[in-house]
Amino acid sequence: MKWLFKFFAKGLIKILYRVEVKGLEHYHAVDQKQQPLLIISNHVSTLDGPLLDLFLPGETSFMVDVAHTKKWHERFILAMTNYFKVDLQSPYAAKHMIKELQSGKQCMIFPEGRITTTGSLMKVYEGTGMVAEKTGAMILPVHISGAVYSKFSYLDGSKLAYIKQFWFPKICITLQPAEKSVDTTGLKGRKKHHVLTEQIARLLRDGVYYGNVQHQSVFASLLQANSFFRSKEICVEDVNDQTLSLKKLTLAAIILGKQLNRVLKDEKHVGLMLPNVAGMPASFFALQAYGHVPAMINFTAGIASIRSACETAGLKSVITSKKFVEVFELEPLIEALSNKVHFIYLEEIKENIGGLDKITGLLKCPKKLPGYKVNPKESAVILFTSGSEGTPKGVVLSHQNINSNIAQISSMLTLLPGDTILNALPTFHCFGLTAGMLWPIIRGAKVYMYPSPVHYSIVPEMVYQKNAKLIFGTDTFYTGYARKAHPYDFYSVNSLVAGAERLRPETRALYADKYHQPIFEGYGVTETTPVLSVNNHLAYKNGSVGRFVPAVSYRLEPVKGIDEGGRLFVKGPNIMKGYFMPDKPEVLQPPVEGWHDTGDIVDVDEDGFVWIKGRAKRFAKIGGEMVSLTAVESYINEASPEGHHVVVAVPDERKGERLVLVTDDPTLCRSTITNAAKEKQISELWVPKTTVLVEKVPVLGTGKTNYPEVQKLAEKNFDS
């Protein structure tokens, strides 16, 4: 009778929960006649056991903590499965599972030992890895998504105001390829247990990515967020007290997008030049809704760089705001570029939106808009970065790049619906765009957008006022905040995340001592959408930039003269579509065979943590901005063609790095350099703050500049 009961139960649950199972081929690839099978899964609700028992092939035995068998509904649900009770705190718990596997049974363990109360992974117990190692079982990872939104989840009650809980949410069960237990030859005791447990934790973490990544357009991801979370709750707020809920953001995208589309017509690439205000996500998704590709303009880059960026991406129009232009004093920029591009002001667009347009927008089905069914491999956004000669390259990211990196970030950092991220990082940088703005919106959280990261006294106060749970920043910005913040300003913060430049040990120690907060350092570049690795609460090493996010492959190529590590190449779903180069505008140049050369020298330790050793490219990072040393030398050489000028970077306590000019020209003064930069319309960041005069600039036997010796001269004179 039990099989008949399970037959009807499976049919009923499949109908009610619209259960979808992905990756069953990974189950069938395991030869259970040769090796026992150990299934592991995340644990999000009391439905998990029956779901796996009913929808995975074979007869599965479950190990269940005795604490989860006391309530009547728990016992009723478990009655549909084959299970045995254990005390997970007991050292004998693992022995029970080993015995079951050795008897030839297909077994299942929830390695976390408890149902999550956060919606994310929790602590992983050692026993699962030991069981797999002792029995030689193949480990089959499974991820359950959707059930966390059911009435049977154990989510923290404070989050239920933001999450749509359903009796019957859609549930998806995703299987990954099975793995053998890692080789622990030569390892004993705690080290052996650590290695085995880390394998289980990695498989579960990867499962979060594979179970949640969506192969769809960015606009479709916004619509999905509307259905998963409470669409009337605020998801965007800015310094002007402008707020947007998911519902209003979607409506704004439809209505504003229609008006912009009338003006833009068939223009594919469209410039977007706005600060961190509510109008930024509204405009971004408005363009996405109608199939336009936003090109994010760095309005701090200087006229020459912005003009080059517009030409590289083939921009005919740039969307901006009159108020923004006035407040940031960008009139000279507008005047200089008006003969190249057409500036579209949001204030004028909004004046043309009438009552009929709003009614039409309410009635419009968003799934019928051009941006909904866009191929995920198509371009979604263009960002700009400096090339070796200082001219901007366009980095083209696809919809799949963005959705993949959002899922990768979610697998590493906990973000709950209703949590607030304070994002002061500009959205013309990928860090501020993907992690700071799109991630919280698409994951049902809230982003407070602040227009400037250098308001060191105001940003910490806003963190305090808004009860922010997560902050993104650079070492430069965190150092600035520490000088102004009250010790209690970061009381609500769960994670401080640093990227874009090296996090100095002094900054990390300062936050630990003064604010009792760790800073989780991460790493990435624009070409990787951007997050490649990050530390977190479950995996952290001081000085490293954390472990690689799921689905990323890497290789290290040896570099002459460097003993530890190598030049980092990466490949994965978050790697850009390719570059637009200034000499070939709008011609996509994809990475060679999908591999991107980061230009950084890194080392990866035995635990998978990434350590940045240095930069292979001649770039400096000043306050998170990339500065081409070659380009700086170029404009100085034009101003003083008789001299030999070399620009290098040295560490700086405030900005991360500082430019130092080493020259043999005694007539060269600071005013000459400053005037040359102004004439070339170059940002002040590109002006060396220190000059070292030498009798002769060191050169190699070939006549080329001896950069290592120049670096030593600069550091010696700077320190003195």
Q: Helix, strand or coil for residue 519?
A: strand
Nearest alpha carbon to residue 192 among 138, 136, 126, 141: 126
**What does the angle CA 447 – CA 451 – CA 452 come to, to the nearest 5 degrees?**
115
Q: How far apart are the first and last CA of the chain?
A: 86
Q: Helix, strand or coil for residue 72?
A: helix
Distance CA 159, CA 157 (A): 5
**What's the token pair of residue 420?**
């607030």
User: Are 232 and 226 spatial neighbours (Cβ–Cβ below 8 Å)?
Assistant: no
Which parts of the chain register pLDDT below 50? 387-389, 700-704, 720
Full strand arrangement of the beta sheet holding 656-663? 645-652, 656-663, 690-693
User: Are 313 and 382 spatial neighbours (Cβ–Cβ below 8 Å)?
Assistant: yes
Strand segments, DSSP code E, in 304-389 are 317-320, 342-345, 379-386
Q: What is the bridge-based pairing of β-strands 234-238 and 446-449? A: parallel
User: What is the CB neighbour count within 10 angstroms for residue 212?
Assistant: 19
Scanning 92-232, the segments in alpha helix (DSSP H) are 93-102, 127-135, 189-212, 218-228
Which stretch of DSSP H or E encloses residue 17? Answer: helix 2-17
Distance CA 709, CA 700 (A): 10
User: What is the CB neighbour count within 10 angstroms for residue 415?
Assistant: 22
Q: What is the bridge-based pairing of β-strands 293-296 and 234-238? A: unpaired
Quote the pLDDT of residue 89. Answer: 62
Q: Helix, strand or coil for residue 416?
A: coil
The amino acid present at 392, given as its one-letter code, is P
Give the position of tokens 């190529």: 557
- Compute CA 157 distance to the chain's CA centroid, rounded to the nearest angstrom: 27
List of residues 6+ apart from 514 with CB closer than 8 A = 482, 487
Taking each helix axis from N to C end, the angle separating 475-484 and 505-514, rounded to the nearest 10 degrees, works out to 40
Quote the pLDDT of residue 105. Answer: 79
Q: What is the bridge-based pairing of β-strands 596-604 and 566-571? A: antiparallel
Q: What is the 3-state secondary structure (H, E, C) of 590-615?
A: CCECCEEEEEEEEEECCCCEEEEEEE
Q: What residues are annotated to the active site?
A: 43
Q: Assign 3-state DSSP to the chain and report helix, strand, coil percentages, each to 5.
A: 35, 25, 40
Quote the pLDDT of residue 703. Answer: 44
Nearest alpha carbon to residue 229 among 458, 414, 417: 417
Quote the pLDDT of residue 156. Answer: 64
**What's the token pair of residue 282?**
């509204």
Q: What is the bridge-based pairing of β-strands 584-589 and 596-604? A: unpaired
**What's the token pair of residue 367?**
């799934």
Q: Helix, strand or coil for residue 280?
A: helix
**What's the token pair of residue 345?**
């002001």
List of residues 6+ apart from 490 with CB closer than 8 A = 460, 463, 464, 471, 496, 511, 515, 517
Distance CA 530, CA 551 (A): 14
Quote the pLDDT of residue 78. Answer: 64
Nearest alpha carbon to residue 318 among 260, 277, 371, 276: 260
Nearest alpha carbon to residue 442 among 585, 276, 246: 246
Buried b (16+ CB within 10 A) or exposed e, 26-53: bbeebeeeeebbbbbbbbbbbbbbbbbb
Q: How many CA atoms lie within 13 A of 673 on its CB side?
A: 26
Distance CA 242, CA 236 (A): 8
* pTM as predicted: 0.84
For the chain, domains (ranges, CATH) are 2-212 (3.40.1130.10), 218-615 (3.40.50.12780), 619-719 (3.30.300.30)
List of residues 6+ apart from 15 with CB closer than 8 A = none
> What φ, ψ does residue 552 adopt, rounded to 5°?
-100, 130
The amino acid present at 309, given as its one-letter code, is A
